[in-house]
Amino acid sequence: MPDIRRLDLFDERQLAAFDRVYTEASREGRPYATPWPLPERRAAWSLPSIVQHYEGWLYVVGEEVQGVAEIELPLLDNTHVGDVSIYVPARFGRRGVGTALAEHVAQRLREQGRRVVQAFISGTQITEGVAESTSRSPGEVFATRLGLTNRLVNIHRVLPLPLADQRLRGLAEQAAAASAGYRLISWVDSCPAEHVEAYCLLKAALLEQVPMGDLDFEPEVWGEARLREREEELVAMGRTMYVQVAVTPDGDMVGHTEIVVPRHDPEQLYQWDTLVLPEHRGHRLGITLKVANHVAVQFDHSDRLQAHTWNAADNPAMVAVNDALGYRPVEFVGEWQGPVPA
């Protein structure tokens, strides 16, 4: 009989089985998939957290793991939401594995008082700027059947590395005149104490400023404890965070960008948050910040082959910045939500 078991984070066999199924399902039909390496996931799962609660589940037949699920429950904000991921390789498809895991996850969310399910689901792949299909991906079909809808369309973009020095210099020179008067401050991994308050304000502002589609989502609560926890988690995962911030002549922090360099995924970089406050847009601070960060990262990690980023499809300003750097679209990724089934 099939059995759904809680993932034991200290059981090496379970962890290895979870990782195999998760990685196989994540990569199917997705040339630019970016599954987390197991050492990263183990570190992120194992650390105590004030920010989120994590659970992993395995669908087991005999001793064979045929599907896995993850639940992440925000603890500081958005406490009505449960982030869910379900992974079933195609070779185990059409056996009810995904449905059984979805029913189990829904029960866990009800027990935790959550009323909204949220999931990031990969959709159509993009080749040379053209969508490969007009039909829905298996994940999108499954989510629709469960009552979820796509509330925000993102585009996964990839940048071939290393970038030519001449290209970086040219972009920096083009932006210099518009951004005159602003200065950049940078750090790696740990935010200097004197900048914590201002940086947390930018982090909290992100979800208020970027396109959020029809998502049922609240702004995030950021303070020093949350920031320091994230920094410690990234170090434990073997990820190095490069940060650039833009500051006015009066010393106000008005924009930031982040790149993550994973030790356990040695070909990749990840472009994370970028935000410029509305009253300071139009000065080309977005491209200025990103170029400066790419220069710093490339100096330290010239062996990296690709950078990945995800942007809302209806964020033309940030899309234009990424296009200027040379990012190209490779995949649609939706943020899906729906009510937790009764």
Report the CATH number that the domain containing residue 103 is assigned in CATH: 3.40.630.30
Q: Based on the fold, state whether residues 312 and 229 are members of the same structural domain.
A: yes
Place of tokens 């992993």: 56
The verdict on residue 129 lying in a domain is no
The verdict on residue 17 lying in a domain is yes
pTM of the complete model? 0.95
Per-residue pLDDT tens digits of the chain, which is 342 residues long: 899 999 999 999 999 999 999 999 999 999 999 999 999 999 999 999 999 999 999 999 999 999 999 999 999 999 999 999 999 999 999 999 999 999 999 999 999 999 999 999 999 999 988 998 888 999 999 999 999 999 999 999 999 999 999 998 998 898 888 889 999 999 999 999 999 999 999 999 988 888 889 999 999 999 999 999 999 999 999 999 999 999 999 999 999 999 999 999 999 999 999 999 999 999 999 999 999 999 999 999 999 999 999 999 999 999 999 999 999 999 999 999 999 987
The verdict on residue 151 lying in a domain is no
Beta carbons of 95 and 34 less than 8 angstroms apart: no
Q: Based on the fold, state whether residues 45 and 184 are members of the same structural domain.
A: no
Which of 32, 49, 51, 40 has its CA nearest to residue 15?
Answer: 40
Q: Based on the fold, state whether residues 110 and 164 are members of the same structural domain.
A: no
Rg (CA), the chain: 21
Beta carbons of 140 and 123 less than 8 angstroms apart: yes
Instruction: Determine the Cα–Cα distance for residues 192 and 168; give it in Å rounded to an integer.
Output: 27
Q: Based on the fold, state whether residues 63 and 180 are members of the same structural domain.
A: no
Place of tokens 């992974």: 87
Q: Residue 335 is encoded by which pair of tokens?
A: 């943020």
In this structure, what are the phi and psi dihedrals at residue 225, rounded to the nearest 5 degrees?
A: -65, -45
Total domains in the chain come to 2
Q: What's the domain range around 23?
A: 2-114
Beta carbons of 126 and 329 less than 8 angstroms apart: yes
Element at 13 (helix H, strand E): helix 12-27
Instruction: Determine the Cα–Cα distance for residues 308 and 306; give it in Å rounded to an integer.
Output: 7
The verdict on residue 83 lying in a domain is yes
Instruction: Determine the Cα–Cα distance for residues 221 and 227; give it in Å rounded to an integer.
Output: 10
Q: Based on the fold, state whether residues 77 and 221 are members of the same structural domain.
A: no
Single out the residue in 58, 89, 114 at which a domain terminates.
Answer: 114
Instruction: Determine the Cα–Cα distance for residues 236 and 223; give it in Å rounded to an integer.
Output: 20
